[in-house]
Amino acid sequence: MQLRPAQQKILEYTNGYMAISAVPGSGKTFTLSLLAAELIAQGRINTNLDQQVLIVTYLNASVDTFRARIRRRLEDKGLPITGFDVRTLHSLSLEIVRLSQSELAGNMPIVLDDTQQSYFLSLAIDRWIEHHTHLWQEFLHDLPDSPRAMARWRTIVEKTASALIRTAKNERYRPEQILDKLHRFITQETAESDENPQTIARRYAFTEMMAGIYAHYQNILMRQAAMDFDDLIWQATDLIEEQENFAEQLRQRWPYVLEDEAQDSVPLQEALLEALTGPNGNWVRVGDPNQAITSTFTAAHPRFFNAFIDRPDVRSLPLPNSGRSAPLIIDAANTLLNWVIDHHPVPEVRRHAFRRQNILPTPPGDAQPNPPNSEANIRIKVFKHREDEELPAIARLATRYAQKKPEHTLAILVPTNRTGYQIAEHLDELDSDYDMLLRGGGREREIAAAMHALLAVLANPLDKKQLVRAHETLYELGHPAARVPEEQLSHLHRLLVSVSRPESVLYPWQESDMAAALPAGRTTETDLAAIGRFAEFLRRIFSLRALPIDDLALALGDELFSWGEAHEGDLIIAYQIANVLRQWRTTQPEWRLPELVAQLEDVVAGRRRLPIAPVDELGYEPTPGRITLTTQHSAKGLEWDAVFLVGIDGMWIPGSLDAPFVGEYDFLGGDPTAEVVAQLRYIMAGDAGIYPGRTPTETARIDIICERLRLLYVGITRARRYLHISRSRATRVYNKDRESEPATVMGVLYRFLKQREEKRPSSPSSE
């Protein structure tokens, strides 16, 4: 095996702390697997003492990848397949707690999954509202009196409460500590200030509400004898820090710790792994700070891994070679990175968006040679209007590319799920082959609505309105059981509402029973045939009612989405909804089908989100000739021959802090999550965690700009041969056209292409 010089250097590691900064496509998983096998081969692991190299990775899907690669490497060396342990952070924490409990003869905790955690957080919000109804009404005072505004406000509260809880647990603050310090802080500020005490109290009211929700949430968990994932990591860290003998036992078992995706590490993860390895331990961290794209919605931030890289006790090595992309595309990514570091108009963005590390092509003779520039192209396209021009045009261009080059993989990467669903409509009109990897309220709610409609009929078969809704759902899906001419649809639904005895339609003793139950003189033979097909379908699913709820939901998912040419993403979402229902039933064992249907109705109405994993986390592999439709966030870890980046404008990547920001709550005057987290840090530690001289909202905007620039970098580096970047001069927001400024960085990429044109007339052109 011919290794690159940088890889060979990494395999010379023997002990101590080491950081590996790896560029996109550099084979970090492969290299880390080689290092694990090399440590075993060199005898640095005593398998007779059951020692193991511990590999900690981010996704469950990565666990199997690591195991397979290490196993293959050991087989190649003729060594026994032993001496390594691959775990996610959560499974590692659970194992540490399990080992501790076995020592203490204690009981294992119940660890909530995302579904249960989301449910208990929603319940905690309800409990807080019950105890503080007048305060809740005050928060609602300035909001529009509409169901949409109420649902939006509830989403904001859930998002902000989750952020405060996540931040608090990563700093190991308990709710009673926060509330006590907050009240003392307000009292002190009131005594020292000339401001009205009510004004001061209002300034911290939202943070106090979030801390109160945190308290209710922890009380619910305590009564359930349960903990969430952050609690689990917290407890595991405390156990190691507080029990030196136990820590030594763990270090004896795992004398080497190799950490993957370190750029996404949260403070608790760092604390756990540093405690596990000890001050003189062996800890290798691999990641790419330039691909840190979760800092705006998790406790992760690239500054943590950057700080580790720069520590004097850490040996830092690069993994700079990438064979994924053609040199043209690599040069574009490097141009973006260096311009941001050297010239971005916001000083904090220059300092914090990227770490200067250029991607280098692979050396001659490498096993993964870069695609040649002769096969590469980059285009930049500007449209007048996003919804009317850009989105349909990109759907056509991607479809044409797939037809012209069926041997290539290709993707459309969108900034938001909403934009993705708009493109999906155009792909459907073109009858394009594509995989929907989008997630979020839209599609998840549509699939939840379809499953809810059928479950509601099973819960109450005599409810005629639910019969109509089930038929509507099947019709919208194009299902054979509800396939009728559009002009017949409303008439058919009026007939179903007018049925005198629904049971005679669903289970007729003889053919005449169905006709007799329908309105006389208004029902034709065509109507009877259509209702008969629908009833036959319902009778088939009625036979499933005795199944456990998750098996029932799985079967319904197959009935709804596996006929015809189904989208893989829809089936996966349906299967995950089945798991959500099972977890609800586990959490509340007294619930039966009607109660579960009511919970799912909250999802359909937008009052609750579904905590399900994106499809890309489940081991998705692109298929040649078939378009992958996903967000820029979900594209990390994947690659395609061709990539279409959509909507790269000044609203998505603002060039200044005064520009409009997609996703910010304008009616609240800023980012409430940023304000609450900043207040929490300031109250608890005297440090708001913000950039000097910047408000919390300005700090949040700086982090958004940084992350979206990194998202663009990730999107560019997903492409192997062809990259198409587009934006529009106007877009439609809440049914009103709004001008959209170009992203400053788009001009940088445009000039990069023009300069290449001038130097090499035969090089790719831009439009």
271 inside domain: yes
- At 491, the amino acid letter reads H
3 state SS of 264: helix
465 and 401 in a single domain? The answer is: no
Q: What is the pLDDT of residue 119?
A: 85
DSSP 698-765: HHHHHHHHHHHHHHHHHHHTTEEEEEEEEEESEEEETTEEEE-PBPHHHHHHHHHHHHHHHH-TTS--
Angle at CA 723, nearest 5°, toward 721 and 726? 170
Joined tokens for residue 704: 């958004």
The answer to whether residues 627 and 730 belong to one domain is yes
Amino acid at 31: T
Question: Would you state the pLDDT for residue 524?
Answer: 85
- In 10 A of CB 462, how many CB atoms? 12
Q: How deeply is 579 buried, as exposed, middle or buried, from its count of CB atoms within 10 A (0-12, 13-18, 19+)?
A: middle
Task: Judge if 468 and 602 occupy the same domain.
Answer: yes
Q: What's phi and psi for 287, nearest 5 deg?
A: -175, 180
Contact 728, 385 (CB under 8 A): yes
Closest C-alpha to 462, from 520, 421, 502: 502
Amino acid present at 567? H
Query: Quick one: pLDDT at residue 216?
Result: 97
**What's residue 115's pLDDT?**
72
- The C-alpha atoms of residue 490 and residue 182 are separated, in whole angstroms, by 58
> 663: closest CA among 155, 25, 110?
155
pLDDT value at residue 765: 44
The helix/strand/coil state of 664 is coil
| Same-domain status, 623 and 587 | no
Say yes or no: 464 and 574 in one domain.
yes
CATH of the domain at 34: 3.40.50.300
Same structural domain, 159 and 268? no
- Is residue 284 within 8 A of residue 20, CB to CB? The reply is yes
* Crossing angle between the packed helical segments 267-277 and 244-253, to the nearest 10 degrees: 80
Determine the straight-line distance between the first and last CA of the chain, rounded to whole angstroms: 43
How would you write 380-430 as a 3-class SS string? EEEECCHHHHHHHHHHHHHHHHHHHCCCCCEEEEECCHHHHHHHHHHHHHC
Q: What is the DSSP letter of 265?
A: -
**Residue 669 included in any domain:** yes
Give domain status of residue 766, yes or no.
no
Task: Verify that 298 and 208 share a domain, yes or no.
Answer: no
- On the CB side of 197, how many CA atoms lie within 13 Å of its CA? 7
Residue 331 resides in a domain: no
pLDDT score of 298: 73
What is the distance of C-alpha 236 from the center of its chain? 25
* Domain identity same for 490 and 561: yes
Pairing status of strand 736-739 against strand 730-733: antiparallel
Q: Are residues 530 and 592 in the same domain?
A: yes
DSSP state of 689: -
Considering 321, 356, 391, which residue would you say is the last residue of a domain? Answer: 321
Phi, psi for 46 (deg, rounded to 5): -90, 95
β-partners of residue 360 are 321
Considering only CA atoms, which of 525, 521, 522, 504 is closest in space to residue 513?
Answer: 504
* Domain assignment present for 764: no
Residue 332 placed within a domain = no
What is the Cα–Cα distance from 50 to 253, expressed in whole angstroms?
7
Q: State how far the Cα of 393 lies from the Cα of 379, in Å rounded to an integer.
A: 14
In this structure, are 560 and 510 located in the same domain?
A: yes
**Residues in the chain with pLDDT values less than 70:** 1, 102-109, 142, 146-148, 296-297, 439-445, 509-512, 562-569, 605-619, 662-671, 688-689, 734, 760-767
pLDDT score for 377: 96
The reply to whether 468 falls in a domain is yes
Same domain, 34 and 101: yes
Which of 402, 290, 293 has the alpha carbon at shortest distance from 341?
290
> Could you give the count of Cα atoms lying within 13 Å of 85 in the half-sphere of its Cβ?
19
Which of 561, 589, 613 terminates a domain? The answer is 613
* Model confidence, pTM: 0.79
Residue 330, domain member (yes or no): no
pLDDT at 441: 46
Helices marked H in 193-266: 197-203, 205-223, 229-242, 244-253
Whether 539 and 590 share a structural domain = yes
Cβ atoms within 10 Å of 323's Cβ, excluding its own: 18
160 vs 269: CA distance, rounded Å: 22
Tell me what pLDDT residue 505 has. Answer: 74
Kindly tell me the burial class for residue 543, based on how many C-beta atoms sit within 10 Å of its own C-beta (0-12, 13-18, 19 or more).
exposed
- Identify the burial level of 365 via C-beta atoms within 10 angstroms of its C-beta, where 0-12 means exposed, 13-18 middle and 19 or more buried: exposed
The CATH number assigned to the domain holding 523 equals: 1.10.486
Boundary (domain end) residue, out of 552, 580, 613: 613
Q: How far apart are CA 425 and CA 388, in angstroms?
A: 13
Phi, psi of 729 (to 5 degrees): -80, -15
Given CA atoms 745, 747, 750, 751 in this order, what sign does their dihedral have? negative
Domain that holds residue 48: 5-106+231-321
Tokens representing residue 203 in the block: 């300034």
Tokens of 301: 């931030």
Tell me how many domains the chain contains.
4
3-state helix, strand, coil in the chain (%, to 5): 55, 10, 30
State how far the Cα of 470 lies from the Cα of 191, in Å rounded to an integer: 62
pLDDT score for 311: 95
Given a contact cutoff of 8 angstroms between Cβ atoms, the answer to whether 40 and 51 are in contact is no
The answer to whether 612 touches 577, Cβ cutoff 8 Å, is yes
Q: Which pLDDT score is estimated for 664?
A: 55
